[in-house]
Chains A and B, each alone.
Chain A
Amino acid sequence: MVPDGRLSLLVVDDEPRILSALCRTLRREGYEVLTSETVEGALRVLDARPIDAILSDQRMPGTSGMQFLAEAARRQPDAIRMLITGWTEEIPASQLEQLGVRALITKPWDDAKLKATLRRALRPEAC
């Protein structure tokens, strides 16, 4: 948590327009939103500062969100992990559970549902 009490959220997607739209959606949600278009960039952020929650795209060039979240878990085990995907394939629930993925969001997302899902995932005590 940053000094002003806002929760920090790291969003990773190789599609800059998705990042831009997610920032717009979350503008009034009171999070400190950080973005990265690459897994490397996201890992640098994780090495540089504490992060409360991570929301990652599943399919990215040369890697997957699951692989990135596994690496993120090694660096910051306490960070809440969430996945967002436009892919129609099913990710086995057991794998999500094993990685401690708190929420799976599909693209295109419903604005209100996304906000509610994040609130539930990040502030379970408030819901």
Chain B
Amino acid sequence: MHIVSIDDPERALARCREAAVELVIVDLEPGAERERWLEALRREGRPVLVAGAQADGTPRRLREPGPYDDEILQNMNSALLVIDTDACITACNPPAELILGERADALRGRSVRRWFAGDPPGEDWVARTLAQGVRFRGAESTITRSDGTRVPIGISCAPIVDSDGVRLGVVATFQDLTEIKQLQRQVLQAEKMASIGQLAAGVAHEINNPMGFIHANLFQMAEYVGDLRRVFSAVDELRKAVARGDTAEAREAAGRLDATAEETQVDFLLSDLAKAIRESQEGSERIRHIVQDLREFSHTDTGERVLADVNQCLDSTATIVWPMMKHLVVLEKEFHQLPSVPCFPMQLKQVFMNLLVNAFQSIEEKIGGSSETGRIQLRTEVRGEFVVVSVSDSGAGIAPENLARIFDPFFTTKKVGVGTGLGLSTCYSIVRRHGGTITVESQLGRGSSFEVLLRIEAGETPDDGA
């Protein structure tokens, strides 16, 4: 027997035409493409054997559900779909009907792509499992129902393989994450409000300064008005005396006017009144800005990414945090020109604020009460496909044994009431959501440096299992 191995269906077909071929064994990935080539080869009148097919020549198929399978399927809390190699649903359970929004009879035999076509496409875990035969666990994806509504899901996919190792399909289990997503958003907001609480003291100080001088100026201006009224009533007396034509009285009134003007320092009064008004206006403008910044900061993002200037996000966050740290810290900024990044700007600001507040608290821990000053360095740059933001401090640093745990939820080394233990874990999930990474380098007693990499093109970080 003479065996020829050809890795191109086109050339295989040509070979069938030019030579006497007794048997063609086809080993192609299942799918429409394979069906097309099988059809073409069969037309050449050659016996064709499909690799992975059963001995009788019928293609291998997923078996029908057995006696207990149905009970198991019906009573699972997770949604489950069994999907064949053509991506068609062969079995499903009630939670799957609920999430996909269709009855079982409307699901069976239909292509799963209709619901699972991921957006971005990389999220289509079912297709990836079919194509690569690799198992995915706990990936996040979205289902699009036929009415267009989208449901966030957590999905695990495993290939179904028969005893000969032939891929027969995929079993996918998934859960509706709508509620969990909502809780996540609430935790995010709660964490942000906690950080705003920390900011409040700093903001109060920043407002108390302009409030201090506006308040004092108003007191003085009220006194000035009293003095001016005295000057004006002296002017009025003089005017009346002149009107009466009483020269002696007018001379006397003029004398009193001079004395009042002298006593009240009216020239100074008038110029200082204008100055006090100007300064107070500037102060109220400052308060307006602070309140506006704070209000902006407490906003939540809309659900959509927007193109934003990361430098601006970092700078405006530093402005808000600055008052709480300026007595202990020298802030150095090294911003490089950055392309706009598709992001959730409010969430990024929250990351930057957490890093800045941590940097400050670390410096405070190290030098609080002494006469030293600490240093916080903010740096931005473009590195390959990423925008890089680094926040470095000269603070107390992180103990090596804690370094691996700092991004864990509820891990904190701060005193009770100072931190929620959610700051860095929030940073971590926000940065991941942006398709980025957050890393830290730290030396105990020397300081820490956090680096946030944000992808310039939109995209999520692939799950660790991928």
Mark A residues whose CB is within 8 Å of B: 15, 17-18, 20-22, 24-25, 27, 58-64, 67, 86-89, 106-109, 111, 114
Q: Are A21 and B216 in contact (CB under 8 A)?
A: yes
B209 → chain A closest CB, angstroms: 5
CA distance A15 to B326 in the complex (A): 13
**Total B residues in contact with A, Cβ cutoff 8 Å:** 28
CA distance A107 to B287 in the complex (A): 14
Q: Are B216 and A22 in contact (CB under 8 A)?
A: yes
CA distance A63 to B204 in the complex (A): 19
A88 → chain B closest CB, angstroms: 5
CA distance A109 to B215 in the complex (A): 8
Mark the stretch among B229-237, B248-256, B275-283 that contacts chain A.
B275-283
Hey, which chain B residues are within 8 Å of A18, CB to CB?
Answer: 209, 212-213
Given A63-B327, A87-B201, A87-B205: A25 touches B220 (CB 8 Å cut-off): yes
Q: Are A61 and B219 in contact (CB under 8 A)?
A: no
Q: Are B209 and A86 in contact (CB under 8 A)?
A: yes
CA distance A96 to B344 in the complex (A): 46
Given A25-B220, A89-B201: A60 touches B209 (CB 8 Å cut-off): no
Hey, which chain B residues are within 8 Å of A24, CB to CB?
Answer: 216-217, 220, 272, 276
State which of A25, A59, A63, A64 has its C-beta within 8 Å of the C-beta of B216. A25
Given A17-B283, A24-B220: A86 touches B212 (CB 8 Å cut-off): yes
Q: Are A88 and B204 in contact (CB under 8 A)?
A: yes
At the interface, yes or no: B371 with Cβ under 8 Å from chain A? yes
State which of A61, A87, A89, A108 has its C-beta within 8 Å of the C-beta of B215. A108
CA distance A86 to B210 in the complex (A): 10
At the interface, yes or no: B51 with Cβ under 8 Å from chain A? no
B82 → chain A closest CB, angstroms: 62
Q: Main SS of chain A's interface residues? A: mixed
Q: Are A86 and B219 in contact (CB under 8 A)?
A: no
Provide the B306-339 mask, 1 if CB < 8 A to any CB of A, else 0: 0000000000000000000011111000000000
A21 → chain B closest CB, angstroms: 4
Top 10 A-B pairs ranked by shortest CB distance?
A86-B208, A107-B212, A21-B213, A111-B219, A108-B215, A21-B216, A108-B212, A59-B327, A24-B220, A108-B211
Provide the B367-410 mask, 1 if CB < 8 A to any CB of A, else 0: 00001010000000000000000000000000000000000000
Hey, which chain B residues are within 8 Å of A17, CB to CB?
Answer: 209-210, 213, 279, 282-283
CA distance A24 to B204 in the complex (A): 24
CA distance A61 to B331 in the complex (A): 10
B288 → chain A closest CB, angstroms: 15
Hey, which chain B residues are within 8 Å of A62, CB to CB?
Answer: 326-330, 373
Hey, which chain A residues are within 8 Å of B275, CB to CB?
Answer: 20
Q: Are A20 and B213 in contact (CB under 8 A)?
A: yes
Hey, which chain A residues are within 8 Å of B330, CB to CB?
Answer: 62
Q: Are B327 and A61 in contact (CB under 8 A)?
A: yes
A90 → chain B closest CB, angstroms: 11
B215 → chain A closest CB, angstroms: 4
- 17 A-B pairs with CB atoms under 8 Å apart are A15-B209, A17-B213, A20-B213, A20-B275, A21-B213, A24-B216, A62-B330, A62-B373, A63-B371, A64-B327, A86-B205, A86-B211, A87-B204, A88-B201, A88-B205, A108-B215, A111-B215
